[in-house]
Structures are given as structure tokens and as C-alpha cells.
Copies of this chain bind each other. A is one copy, B any other.
């Protein structure tokens, strides 16, 4: 019913036929110019290119996608655990896509909902996406990957140290990074070190916990269950989780929080209790989000190269587009570094 062509108004869109007519060649020839076919007369190409340039012709991507059987859309699937991470990832991916004809379509989902799967299936099939990048914790869902395979949708998953399938994976070595951070605490003289763990079922939470335990074990320090508190990667959970650690006697002299949001919660809780940081309590977080430098004292943390990893993920995805043989040489494993700020000091008393 709705009246279609009513808001025409704009510059009438040029078609390949117009260009062909203007250049005095067939549309096929124009198509060859657009697609850089090598078997073309030099003059013909120059002439057509000149016309394209001066008319500002842009081939219709829908028609191209239809004829070519593939489009130029990359999807980003995430269940936002961390605003900063998502945004950095978007940036990394877009950096890689810049200058190509690919665009980024974003898709936050709710992993708790019981139709996530259908939701994502609809997303990739409806738009016939070229491929998707999946962020943690969705990237740990193997059923999702099987579904994507079934749908013939390429994917790259981001995650923590999952190297089963390096071609479809970009990972950071959280375990080693956390171990380094904890070794740093130990070197400062800390022995009673608390852990605020991430949510169960998160690969990163497990990796970070293992790194924590590894460093303690190396130093021969035992880890009583009471020094481990469960968190949800949120500020509030960090705040409440630290309560139980503060109630301990003797109190831990240092706490490693599995991400910065929770570390900020620990800092806040310490302030509420009048515990001085770093003099009475050292804190290390993970992620290096901006909040670490906004609070006082600025938080020491572990930085992982999110943007670079996003870029690598996107390149892996579109690398296969250029040509199957164009070997993709993006690394699959990235390493993190400890950033020392003001939240770590030697313990007050030995």
C-alpha cells in the first residue's frame, strides 16, 4: 500500500548501464573495470575509470552481494560484561576493516535468555553475514560455534587461552599474566593474599584463578579457602565480596581482583572501613580500564591488548576473503603486561 518512490529527491542513482553508455562500452566491460579484471585494454580502462570518477558512480552493493553470493558485513556478538572492553574491541575491528568494503554490524545478546540461539541464528541467516566475531563469555559457548558452522557462517572467537582451534581464535594468556601480577605481590613481601574470583562458568575467571594459585604454589604459600571470594565481574560484587575478606583475622594484606570493576569495589569497600590503600592493603586488578586512573590511589592492573586483538580477529575473518591461499599470519595468542600504579606497597608488618 505504502507509496514507494515518493521521496526520491536525491541525486538520481547511476547504474552500471549509464556508465557503460557514457563510456561507449558494454556493462560487462564496466564490471571488469570495477573488479580489476586484468584482461582489459589500458585505454578502455582509463576511459571508464575517468567516467566513474567524474560521475561519482558507486556500484549498488545489494546487487553486487546478490550476484556475488556474499555480502560485506561482519557481525559482532557479545553479551556486554564490560563496556570498555566492548568499545575497544569495536575499535580494533573497525581499524582492520577500514579501507575495505566491509562494515561492522553489532549485536548484543542476552546469554541468560533461552532464545539466544534463535536470536543469533536469525541474525546471521537473515543478513547472510560474511562472518562474526564473538566476544567472551559468548565465545565459550561451543553449541553456538556448532550452530554457526551449520549456518555456514565464518567466525572468530575471542577468549582466554583456548587454543584448540587457532584459526578461529584470538586469545590472551590470562593465566600467566595473573601469575606475574601475584608474583609481584609476593616479591613485595605479601603472604596473605586474597582472591576475588570471576563468575563460575567464565573461562577467563578460571584462567585467572589458576594463575593466582600457580604463583602462590610456586612460592610455597598455601591458599586457605577463606581467602577466595566469589565475584561477578561487577563493581557491586567486588564491593560485597571484599567484605568477607576484610572480616578475616588476620586480614589479607593484598587482594587480587579478577577485573578492574571489582578492584574498584575493593578500593571503595576499603575506604568505607577506613583501611588505607596501599599502606594497609595492596590491590591489583585486571583489564586496565580507565577507572583505574580515576580512583585514588590509581590501581595497579594487568593490561591486555584488546584493540590489537580485535584487529587480529577481524583480519583473520576477512583474510580468507581475499583468497583462500593468502595465508593469514595474525597471531592467535597475545600476552598481557602488569601496569604498576599506586595501589601496591609492601605489607605494613611482616
A interface list, Cβ under 8 A from B: 1-11, 58, 60-63, 65-66, 68-69, 71, 73, 80, 83-84, 86-87, 90-91, 94, 101, 103-108, 122-123, 125-128, 149-153, 235, 264, 268, 271, 290-291, 293-296, 322-324
A62 touches which of B58, B66, B149 (Cβ 8 Å) = B66
Enumerate the 9 nearest inter-chain pairs by beta-carbon distance, A residue then B residue, closest first.
A10-B152, A62-B65, A62-B66, A264-B294, A58-B125, A103-B105, A83-B87, A271-B296, A2-B323
| Contact between A291 and B291, CB atoms less than 8 A apart | yes
Q: How far is the CB of A54 from chain B (nearest CB, A)?
A: 15
Which of B2, B10, B127, B150 meets A103, CB within 8 Å?
A: B127
- Contact between chains at B296 and A296 (CB < 8 Å): yes
User: Which B residue's beta carbon lies closest to that of A5?
Assistant: B69
Residues of B within 8 A of A268 (CB): 294, 296
- Tell me, rounded to whole Å, the shortest Cβ–Cβ distance linking A299 to chain B: 10
- Which residues of B have CB within 8 Å of A7? 152, 324
**Could you tell me if A108 and B125 are in contact, using CB atoms closer than 8 angstroms?**
no
Q: Knowing A83-B84, A108-B91, A264-B294 touch, does A4 contact B69 (C-beta < 8 A)?
A: yes
Residues of B within 8 A of A3 (CB): 324
In the assembled complex, how far is the CB of residue A68 from the closest CB belonging to chain B, in whole angstroms? 8
With A108-B91, A295-B296 as known contacts, state yes or no: A152 contacts B83, CB within 8 Å.
no
Question: Contact: B296 with A151, CB < 8 Å?
Answer: no
Sample of 16 more A-B contacts, CB < 8 Å, known A10-B149, A103-B105: A1-B323, A2-B322, A2-B323, A9-B152, A10-B153, A61-B127, A63-B66, A73-B105, A83-B87, A106-B106, A264-B294, A268-B294, A271-B296, A291-B291, A294-B294, A294-B295
